Copies of this chain bind each other. A is one copy, B any other.
Amino acid sequence: MRSAVLTAPGRFEIADVPTPAPAPDEVLLRVAACGVCTSELAAFAGTEPTDYPRHLGHEVSGTVVAAGPDATALPVGTPVAAWVTANGFAEYVTAKAAHCRPAGDVPLDQALAEPLACAVNAVEEAGVRLGDDVVLIGAGFMGNLVQALVGLRGVRRLVVADTRPDALERARAMGATDVVDVRTASLPDVVGDDGADVTFECTGSQAALDVVGTVTRMSGKIVLVGFHQGEPRRIPLAHWNWMAFDIVNAHYRDLAVIMRGMDVGMRLLRSGLISLEPLVTHRFPLDRIDEAFRTARDKPPGFVKATVTLEEPSRAES
């Protein structure tokens, strides 16, 4: 089968490798799509210490084509989203059956269960309550997922801040009560003196950390969804202490928690309560994976999420 291998910064090669065989508790998936995750961009850029080659790809979906003897719950032919840690940019991938969730009628290139699981867990751990006022800083892919979920929870205000007009238009179309271009307007002014009950930081940037405490009410909640890679961040901790903010580090490494988030996310997709259709803006075939990564890196106007999609292979085994 074909598999994309990152052999050096910026360079993917399509290797011809043996199709993996599922372990007793695994299924073999014919990959339909695998999303490009922001956390993979550092390996692509070569800006983090990394050994090459790398076999990236963990936002994978596909169809069950074979199963180990203990993986009988998912019949061959079932479309699923899977939780794997690597090797998703390939024609086939193995996954533990327990880590797969049926996709039902959800188009597989929209069945982005892993990032959706993160967003679900962030929103549930945030404890957004009925009638809350919510601020969301950063309207990229994760911010959009969080917005879609918060929008299901009966909040009063949902103020979205970003620096990109297209992102703010999209946020408004998704139901934001207010959108704020922080290059030209003051987010604290829009939020007002009462402050938000819950503020989601979805950028991973220092700039958002500087402002998040100024728009959240005393004893309110600050939810850190962004991944703050790179240099340590400067936090005005005296102010955060004084204001008694409840801080939620919305990052998850406990597999049971992650799978619970996937369960909920796939339920929401299958039932149509949310759709990622407007968010998957860029699709690339496997042999143009480098273009997918460059696009995810450059974020052209209108970009939200890039995914690598695989055509129906001509041969089931290769």
Contact = CB atoms under 8 A, between A and B. Distances in A.
Interface of A: 24-25, 120, 123-124, 129-131, 149, 152-154, 156, 218-219, 224, 227-230, 232-238, 240-249, 251-254, 256, 264, 267-268, 271, 273
Given A153-B154, A234-B234, 7 more contacts: A124-B130, A131-B268, A153-B153, A156-B271, A232-B234, A232-B235, A232-B238
Contacts of A120: 130
A131 B273 contact: yes
Contacts of A268: 130-131, 154, 156
When all copies of this chain in the complex are counted, the total is: 4
5 contacts: A124-B129, A130-B268, A131-B271, A234-B235, A235-B235
Contacts of A237: 224, 228, 232-233, 235
A271 B155 CA distance: 10
Contacts of A149: 130, 154
A25 B230 CA distance: 39
Given A124-B129, A149-B154, A251 B244 contact: yes
Given A154-B273, A249-B247, A264 B129 contact: yes
A156 B247 contact: no
